[in-house]
Structure 1
């Protein structure tokens, strides 16, 4: 039986390399956030609530760029873990307002510090200019991908 050769260039594509980097960042972040009672997926929600950018499930899903059912499941876990609380929306009886608990507010600064530390360690060897350029390039790439997926 003849063995099929894989094109080695496939393993050097931006998509593949970014996927590998994203998974490695997620593993690093999860390991550092777990002792604080956070998952990496919680951070966009926690930050949005902390900064007042969102307070409903719909707004949080839009902010975090995930689907409503996934956001609903995450909010159930976060409520179970004592990180968020829900109160009825006075303007819409079918909706709830979501806010951080004191526990989440107390732990969030340390969680953010851990993430920044991990990102800094991952960017070791990059100059400040290279790091800034890398971030700008990733931002442009994300914009391109979002445009392409909407078409």
Structure 2
């Protein structure tokens, strides 16, 4: 071993660094990183005209389906998310932001944009060519099957 960190170790450390940074940025708003991921994803999907099921939201976010279900129930209890049985398939639960959910996620989206500007500054910012290449490389790795 040459003492240099492996790509896997670097991805892990970067992931943890960003997660902690997001948690800290959102703490004053009363949100965790996982809650933000669910709420912001619902916000974006609704903007695209989608009414996702819990499974679709799990696939979209990369969170485990069981965790999305548990998190959605808690957010429903807080009045931020509405869970509705799909009329076409009552086994499917569809999720949507409530008005209060939109009120909570809107400042969180702005806070995370500011944070991303800071985190991506070493690559030239969110709109830089280096950031675009970084996103392409990460997407390639995420899209590659593990088996």
Structure 1 stretches lacking a partner, 5+ long: 1-5
Larger radius of gyration: 1
Is the CA contact 1:84–1:101 (under 8 Å) kept in the aligned structure 2? yes
| Length-normalised TM-score, structure 2 | 0.81
Corresponding position of 1:40: 33
Determine whether 1:77 maps to 2:70.
no
Instruction: Report the Cα distance in structure 2 between the residues aligned to 1:33 and 1:27, rounded to whole angstroms.
Output: 10
Aligned residues between the structures = 140
Identify the range of structure 1 (87-96 vs 25-34) with the bigger mean alpha-carbon deviation: 87-96
Gap change, CA 1:18 and 1:79, over 3 Å in 2: same
Cα distance between partner residues in 1 of 2:60 and 2:123: 30
Instruction: Name the counterpart of 1:108.
Output: 105
Pairwise CA RMSD: 2.1
What TM-score, normalized by structure 1, do the two folds share?
0.79
Structure 2: unaligned runs, 5 residues or longer: none
- Who is 1:21 aligned against? 14
